[in-house]
Amino acid sequence: MGYKHLKFPENSKFLVTGGAGFIGSNLCEAILNLGYKVRCLDDLSTGKQANVDMFLDNPNYEFIKGDIKDLDTCLKACEGVDYVLNQAAWGSVPRSLEMPIFYCKNNIEGTLNMLEAARQKGVKKFVYASSSSVYGDEPNLPKREGREGNLLSPYALTKRCDEEWAKLYTMHYGLDTYGMRYFNVFGRRQDPNGAYAAVIPKFIKQLLNNEQPTINGDGKQSRDFTYVENVIEANLKACLAPHEAAGNAFNIAYGGREYLIDIYYTLTKSLNKNIEPNFGPDRKGDIKHSNADISKAKDLLGYDPDYNFARGLEEAIEWYKNNL
């Protein structure tokens, strides 16, 4: 259960790309807490300087401000590194529909540079962020690896391409790669601001400010919301996974199903706010329901998530109350 008991060889060094972002900064923190070294590579395009500053006093932490679109930067960042956790990318389905060429360059070429740098520098394991969006319009639930549909957005295409590149790097160059198909991650430090903010931090912030949140669609859409602690566990366990499990992508979720409208009223209740939501139009490129079969990650990575949705949400609300 969890990841706090995991042991890596002494002096192990991790590289977290996108380490100034939500998931990346949580990965950096967990690795430092376990006592290992971590280098963060981030161009601060969507990440925050504060997510770097909080670790700068720790001698095991190092920050490189740089862009994964630049191969030389990736090569320097991979120097002396055992494990790469590649999180750097731009998220958001709607934004990717507005700027497809940038997404291709940033999310595909960037990850390809990181794969190439990891190969050249002899990195042991390359774990990377994919996304549940690769299931596209596949209607069956739960989502199962190997049963994908037509892609619905440029963002989803970038993640699918990353998976294919990673598979080739395992097949031809012997680099052990493990794709993490995250399902709607939430938790501390997820950005509540901006037009493309994720729904849980956005609603919490709006409710705390006594604003009226807008639900896109009827609120009856469902997602497998996944607490960030489970995501940390999956990444670290993938670093310790056997070679036989490499070249694969895995659903990383809790395996539950939460309806947006229920989440909304859970939030109003726990924040003690008597505010009804607005209802807006459906978002383009979105699917109605998504939940994951996590048996592949359980079987091949030993993933065994500790946090169900309710427990994760409670911790997240507490964090936002104290940090907004």
Ligand X SMILES: NC(=O)c1ccc[n+]([C@@H]2O[C@H](COP(=O)([O-])OP(=O)(O)OC[C@H]3O[C@@H](n4cnc5c(N)ncnc54)[C@H](O)[C@@H]3O)[C@@H](O)[C@H]2O)c1
Q: Segment near ligand X (CB under 6 A), from 6-14, 16-24, 137-145, 286-294?
A: 16-24
Q: Site for ligand X (CB under 6 A): which residue of 29, 38, 81, 110? A: 110
| Gap between the Cα atoms of 234 and 26, Å rounded | 13
Q: At residue 181, what is the residue type?
A: R
DSSP state of 98: H
Contact status: 131 vs ligand X (CB under 6 A): yes
Rounded Cα gap, residues 2 and 237, in angstroms: 9
Does position 184 bind ligand X by CB under 6 A? Answer: yes
Query: Smaller CB distance to ligand X: residue 169 or 210?
Result: 169
Q: How far is the CB of 180 from ligand X (least distance, A)?
A: 8
Residues designated as active site? 155
What one-character DSSP code corresponds to residue 282?
P
Residues in the chain, overall count: 324
Q: Is 206 in the site for ligand X (CB under 6 A)?
A: no
Beta carbon of residue 225, minimum distance to ligand X (angstroms, whole number): 9
Binding-site size for ligand X (CB under 6 A) equals: 28
- Least distance in angstroms from the C-beta of 136 to ligand X: 14
- Closer by beta carbon to ligand X, 110 or else 247: 110
Cβ nearer to ligand X, comparing 185 with 239? 185
Strands 222-223 and 258-259: antiparallel
How far from the centroid of its chain's Cα atoms is residue 195's Cα? 19
Give the residue among 251, 249, 206 at the shortest CA–CA distance from 224. 251
Could you say which of 24, 192, 213, 312 contacts ligand X (CB under 6 A)?
A: 24
Torsional class of 77: left (φ above 0), alpha (ψ -120 to 50), beta (otherwise): alpha
Residue (45 or 209) nearer to ligand X, CB = 45
Q: CA 318 to CA 222: how far, in whole Å? A: 23
Q: What are phi and psi of 64, to 5 degrees?
A: -115, 120
Name beta bridge partners: 312: none
297 binds ligand X (CB under 6 A): no
Strands 176-182 and 248-252: parallel
Question: CB of 131: closest distance to ligand X in angstroms?
Answer: 4
Query: Segment 135-174, which members bind ligand X (CB under 6 A)?
Result: none
Piece of the chain touching ligand X by CB under 6 A; list 39-47, 144-152, 253-261, 276-284: 39-47
Shortest Cβ 189–ligand X spacing (Å): 8
**CB 105, CB 94: distance < 8 Å:** no
Q: Does 23 bind ligand X (CB under 6 A)?
A: yes
How far apart (Å, rounded) are the C-alpha atoms in residues 225 and 253?
Answer: 7
12 vs 153, beta carbon nearer ligand X: 153
Residue 307 as a binder of ligand X (CB under 6 A): the answer is no
Residue closer to ligand X (CB basis): 64 or 275: 64
Question: For residues 162 and 128, is the Cβ–Cβ distance under 8 A?
Answer: yes
Return the residue of 27, 31, 88, 238 that touches ligand X, per CB under 6 A: 88
Mask: binding to ligand X, 43-72, rule CB under 6 A, as x and -?
xxxxx-------------------xxx---
Q: SS3 for 160?
A: helix
Cβ-Cβ contacts under 8 Å for 53 (sequence gap 6 or more)? none
Binding site for ligand X (CB under 6 A): 17-18, 20-24, 42-47, 67-69, 87-91, 106, 110, 129, 131, 182, 184-185
